[in-house]
């Protein structure tokens, strides 16, 4: 106690004041940290407040001019790669065998290589597959077909259940859906985070016991694409009378697993007009097949190549001109690969060339199998005799379609696609061996001639399509109905 | 020892206010520790560097580069010759950064300092050595082979690796970057529940 007693009272006052000053400064530091943390939350200051489900891309464009302007470039149709590109290529004209393979299904009427997202709504209105529903006669497609075409779908899903949205014929929502695929399809209007807006993907994850909310940002850069670029079918039994969009992933991702799933449901998209086989139409399993390849295994997301970083002036942003990386090698491939542009393109074409070579062979076998099966029916074959043959044809064409409809798959997963095509050739071979035996029993001694399907017109005539009528009806529909839809939509949007 | 303790301990009549003040001091210290995510600085997570939002362009450009597959921030930006040096450099660099950031001294375009350049270059060599140094050549060309191979700064030629040349504070206005929130997850959950209640 002696030492303490020796101290003067002012010493304790100093100690008190010094501690208080330190605590004060520490408090200031804490306030500064909090302040700068808050800054981070407000880095993004929108020009305009976006409503939940705002479908008009131009409104989003006011906040994000660069992203929006690059998105607008998806309107461009001038790029042509060796096999595809951004223009609407009439694939039935390019390859009339497709007409035979899809006989009895809407794809035999009209199938064009898809254009950019900007044209999504125009293209679904204009295709013959959606028919010309006028004057109260319901069209051939359900509203489910709109699901992937527009951010207006996000708006409507905010107002109703998915089942209610899918319900009814395609033309009933024509006036509602006018904005082409855009911002709200993948982005949250408040945070701009990537979001899954389409229920089918969330449901598919749930059925596999996975929660899509746990996906990382890098996974989301592929999963937002997987909302649409996937194999799907319409489940008509979930809710009676409604075509519910469903992803057939319950047994797995591969062509074989998806086929097992369809077989277990006894599902077929249509009965083939020539062979009467119960067919499955592969839609566009682009996400599935891309996950089977080396790029996905190395953690590359769809956006890494199809929407790479872009610099403009002093700013960098994600290029929303979603397109073939073949048109943008420098920003996509060459971020990782240090080879010459021409060499990289040659690498892609080599894979495409070789796989398309095999796929074309399978295609010819399938045309022959359909035509031969048709002949067998004409000669009085029974259901029992045809059962295994039709099953083989179904298997072979599913494999062909899975590799053809998955577009980039010959590059994304060349090894798996080659295996699937090889498997398809075996199935088609089996079908034709059985058919040869059956036809011989029915007295056919020579080869069934290959039909003259050298042009789209000849092929469509061969399967009995009245193209003149279909085209005329569609032209009338475009003249009468679509302007009406646009007018109604303009009235609605003026009230937003 | 006893004498020292006696010197520090306040007289009995002062003990209560001093204890309270020390409590405030400790509590404030803990608060600063938590809200600044101080513990995260011991890790190698890129999210840690995002504690200061001025690093957004660096994070975003790294995420879009091929290096994201093999290297995080610390793989290149702190030394790896030994663990003491690693944390010494990290602490030294980090303290300078936090000082600048707190007093808003960060420049519009953040450029690497020479100490950092040396560390980065050493780390380039650490991973890419097999590409740079051919032992056979080194055995034959004794004089200045090594210096010729690793003498220059790698980015004199590899200018875009990995962050690119566009890296100002406003270079990536809309980049989506992860954040380490000091708010614990249970509290966020509770707040969200509150929000959704009618």
Of B18, B173, B179, the CB nearest to A40: B179
Number of H helices, E strands in chain B: 10, 0
Beta bridge partners of A90: A112
Whether A181 contacts A148, CB under 8 Å: yes
Measured between CA atoms, the residue of chain A closest to residue B104 is A36
Residue-wise pLDDT tens digits, B99-140: 998 888 999 899 999 999 999 999 999 999 888 888 888 788
What's the rounded mean pLDDT across residues A341-363? Answer: 97
Number of H helices, E strands in chain A: 21, 6
Q: How many CB atoms within 10 Å of residue A143? A: 23
The token pair at A252 is 């797995």
What's the rounded mean pLDDT across residues A57-74? Answer: 95
pLDDT at A7 (0 to 100):
62
Q: By the CB < 8 Å criterion, does A4 face chain B?
A: yes
Of A4, A311, A315, the CB nearest to B173: A315
Contact A315/B28, CB-based, under 8 Å?
no
Which domains are seen in chain A, by residue range?
Answer: 57-338+464-493 (1.10.1130.10)
- Closest by CA position to A180, among listed A115, A247, A90, A88: A115
What confidence category does residue A6 fall into, taking pLDDT thresholds of 50, 70 and 90? low
Give the Cα-Cα-Cα angle A309, A311, A312 (nearest 5 degrees): 140
The token pair at A40 is 């981070």
Backbone Cα Rg of chain A: 29
Of B53, B64, B66, the CB nearest to A40: B53
Contact B176/A20, CB-based, under 8 Å?
no
In this structure, what is the dihedral angle of CA atoms B72, B74, B80, B84, given to the nearest 10 degrees?
A: -150
User: To which H or E segment does residue A23 belong?
Assistant: helix A9-41
CA distance B89 to chain A (A): 23
* pLDDT surpassing 70 at residue A123: yes
Chain B residues with at least one Cβ partner in A under 8 Å = 3, 6-7, 9-11, 14, 17-18, 21-22, 24-25, 28-29, 31-32, 35-36, 52-53, 56-57, 60-61, 64-66, 69, 101-102, 164, 166, 168, 170-174, 176, 178-179, 182
For every residue of A339-353, DSSP letters joined together read S-HHHHHHHHHHHHH
What confidence category does residue B190 fall into, taking pLDDT thresholds of 50, 70 and 90? confident
The token pair at B49 is 């560097």
pTM: 0.87
Distance CA B52, CA A40 (A): 8
Burial of residue B113 (CB within 10 Å: 0-12, 13-18, 19+) is exposed
Enumerate residues 6+ apart whose C-beta is below 8 A from A435.
Answer: A369, A372, A373, A376, A389
Give the Cα-Cα-Cα angle A366, A367, A372 (nearest 5 degrees): 95
Residue-wise pLDDT tens digits, A382-391: 999 999 999 9
Of B32, B53, B166, the CB nearest to A314: B166
Measured between CA atoms, the residue of chain A closest to residue B13 is A12
* pLDDT surpassing 60 at residue B74: yes
* pLDDT surpassing 90 at residue A156: yes
Contact B53/A39, CB-based, under 8 Å?
yes
What is the rounded end-to-end Cα distance, in angstroms, of chain B?
A: 63
ipTM score of complex: 0.76
Do strands A309-312 and A315-318 pair parallel, antiparallel, or not at all (unpaired)?
antiparallel
Measured between CA atoms, the residue of chain A closest to residue B64 is A309
Measured between CA atoms, the residue of chain A closest to residue B170 is A315
Contact A217/B176, CB-based, under 8 Å?
yes
Q: Which residue has the tokens 């060499």?
A: A343
pLDDT at A223 (0 to 100):
97
- Closest by CA position to A110, among listed A133, A95, A129, A123: A129
Measured between CA atoms, the residue of chain B closest to residue A22 is B25
* pLDDT surpassing 60 at residue A1: no
Of A30, A36, A304, the CB nearest to B101: A36
Compute φ and ψ for A315, nearest 5 degrees: -125, 150
* pLDDT surpassing 90 at residue A118: yes
pLDDT at A330 (0 to 100):
93
Contact A36/B64, CB-based, under 8 Å?
no
Cα–Cα distances in angstroms (integers) from residue B137 to residues B121, B131, B132, B133, B141, in the given order: 22, 12, 11, 8, 6
In this structure, what is the dihedral angle of CA atoms A47, A53, A57, A58, given to the nearest 10 degrees?
A: -40
Residue-wise pLDDT tens digits, A353-364: 999 999 999 999
Compute φ and ψ for A474, nearest 5 degrees: -65, -40
What's the rounded mean pLDDT across residues B131-154? Answer: 82
Distance CA B184, CA B194 (A): 16
Contact B171/A314, CB-based, under 8 Å?
yes
B11: which DSSP letter?
P
Whether A84 contacts A113, CB under 8 Å: yes
Contact B6/A4, CB-based, under 8 Å?
yes
pLDDT at B195 (0 to 100):
61
* pLDDT surpassing 80 at residue A315: yes
pLDDT at B176 (0 to 100):
83
Contact list in A for residue B9 (CB cut-off 8 A) is 4
Q: Which residue has the tokens 């966020």?
A: B188
Beta bridge partners of A316: A311
Which of B64, B69, B167, B181 to mutate to probe the A interface, most A CBs <10 Å?
Answer: B64
Which domains are seen in chain B, by residue range?
Answer: 55-172 (1.10.3820.10)
Of B24, B69, B166, the CB nearest to A298: B69
pLDDT at B37 (0 to 100):
87
> Which residue intervals of A160-213 are DSSP H helices?
162-166, 199-207
Of B24, B166, B173, the CB nearest to A311: B166
Of A22, A30, A336, the CB nearest to B31: A30
Enumerate residues 6+ apart whose C-beta is below 8 A from A315.
Answer: A66, B166, B170, B171, B172, B173
* pLDDT surpassing 70 at residue A140: yes
Contact list in B for residue A220 (CB cut-off 8 A) is none
Lowest mean pLDDT across A97-106, A153-162, B162-171: B162-171
Q: By the CB < 8 Å criterion, does A319 face chain B?
A: no
Which of A6, A37, A39 to mutate to probe the B interface, most B CBs <10 Å?
Answer: A37
pLDDT at A2 (0 to 100):
47
Whether A399 contacts A336, CB under 8 Å: no
Q: Crossing angle for the helix pair A255-265 and A383-405, nearest 10 degrees?
A: 140
Q: By the CB < 8 Å criterion, does A38 face chain B?
A: no
Distance CA B33, CA A378 (A): 84
Whether A150 contacts A180, CB under 8 Å: yes
Residue-wise pLDDT tens digits, A274-295: 999 999 999 999 999 999 999 9
């Amino acid at each position: 106690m002696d030492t303490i007693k020796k101290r003067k009272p002012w010493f304790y006052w100093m100690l008190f004041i010094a501690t208080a000053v330190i605590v004060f400064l520490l408090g200031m530091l804490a306030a500064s940290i909090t302040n700068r943390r808050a800054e981070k939350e407000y880095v993004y200051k929108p020009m305009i407040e976006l409503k939940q489900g705002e479908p008009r891309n131009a409104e989003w464009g006011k906040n994000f001019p660069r992203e929006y302007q690059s998105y607008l470039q998806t309107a461009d149709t001038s790029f042509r790669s060796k096999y595809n590109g951004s223009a609407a290529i009439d694939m039935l004209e390019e390859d009339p065998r497709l007409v035979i393979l899809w006989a009895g299904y809407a794809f035999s009427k009209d199938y064009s290589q898809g254009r950019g997202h900007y044209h999504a709504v125009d293209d679904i209105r204009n295709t013959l597959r959606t028919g010309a529903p006028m004057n109260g006669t319901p069209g051939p497609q359900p509203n489910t077909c709109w699901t992937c075409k527009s951010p207006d779908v996000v708006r409507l899903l905010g107002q109703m259940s998915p089942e209610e949205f899918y319900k009814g014929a395609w033309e009933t929502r024509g006036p509602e859906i006018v904005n082409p695929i855009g911002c709200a399809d993948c982005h949250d209007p408040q945070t701009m985070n990537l979001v899954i807006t389409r229920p089918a993907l969330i449901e598919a994850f749930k059925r596999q016991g996975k929660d899509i909310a746990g996906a990382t940002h890098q996974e989301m850069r592929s999963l937002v694409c997987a909302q649409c670029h996937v194999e799907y079918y319409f489940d008509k039994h979930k809710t009676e009378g409604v075509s519910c969009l469903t992803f057939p992933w319950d047994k797995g991702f591969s062509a074989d697993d998806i086929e097992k799933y369809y077989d277990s449901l006894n599902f077929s998209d249509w009965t083939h007009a020539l062979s009467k086989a119960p067919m499955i139409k592969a839609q566009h399993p682009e996400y599935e097949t891309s996950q089977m390849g080396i790029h996905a295994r190395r953690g590359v997301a769809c956006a890494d190549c199809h929407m790479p970083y872009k610099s403009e002036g002093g700013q960098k942003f994600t290029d929303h001109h979603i397109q073939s990386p073949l048109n943008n090698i420098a920003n996509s491939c060459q971020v990782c690969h240090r080879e010459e542009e021409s060499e990289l393109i040659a690498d892609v074409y080599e894979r495409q060339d070789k796989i398309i070579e095999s796929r074309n062979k399978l295609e010819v076998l399938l045309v022959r199998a359909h035509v031969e099966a048709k002949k067998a029916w004409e000669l009085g074959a029974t259901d029992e005799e045809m059962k295994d043959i039709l099953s083989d044809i179904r298997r072979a064409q599913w494999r062909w379609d899975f590799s053809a409809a998955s577009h980039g798959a010959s590059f994304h997963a060349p090894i798996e696609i080659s295996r699937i095509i090889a498997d398809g050739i075996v199935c088609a071979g089996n079908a034709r061996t059985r058919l040869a035996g059956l036809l011989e029993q029915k007295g056919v001694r020579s080869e069934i001639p290959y039909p003259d399907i050298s042009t789209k017109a000849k092929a469509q005539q061969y399967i009995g399509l009245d193209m003149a009528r279909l085209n005329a009806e569609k032209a009338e529909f475009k003249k009468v109905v679509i302007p009406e839809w646009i007018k109604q939509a303009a009235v609605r949007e003026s009230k937003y | 020892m006893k004498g020292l303790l006696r010197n520090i301990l306040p007289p009995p009549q002062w003990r209560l206010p001093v204890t309270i003040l020390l409590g405030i001091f400790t509590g404030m210290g803990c608060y600063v520790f938590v809200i600044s995510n101080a513990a995260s600085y011991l890790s190698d997570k890129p999210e840690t560097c995002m504690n200061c939002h001025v690093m957004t362009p660096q994070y975003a450009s790294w995420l879009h580069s091929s290096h994201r597959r093999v290297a995080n921030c610390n793989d290149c930006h702190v030394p790896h010759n030994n663990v003491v040096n690693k944390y010494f450099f990290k602490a030294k660099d980090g303290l300078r950064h936090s000082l600048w950031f707190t007093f808003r001294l960060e420049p519009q375009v953040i450029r690497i300092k020479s100490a950092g350049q040396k560390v980065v270059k050493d780390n380039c060599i650490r991973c890419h050595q097999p590409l740079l140094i051919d032992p056979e050549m080194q055995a034959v060309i004794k004089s200045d082979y090594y210096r010729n191979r690793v003498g220059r700064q790698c980015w004199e030629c590899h200018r875009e690796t990995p962050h690119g040349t566009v890296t100002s504070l406003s270079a990536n206005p809309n980049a989506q970057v992860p954040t380490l929130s000091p708010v614990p997850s249970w509290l966020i959950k509770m707040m969200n529940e509150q929000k959704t209640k009618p």
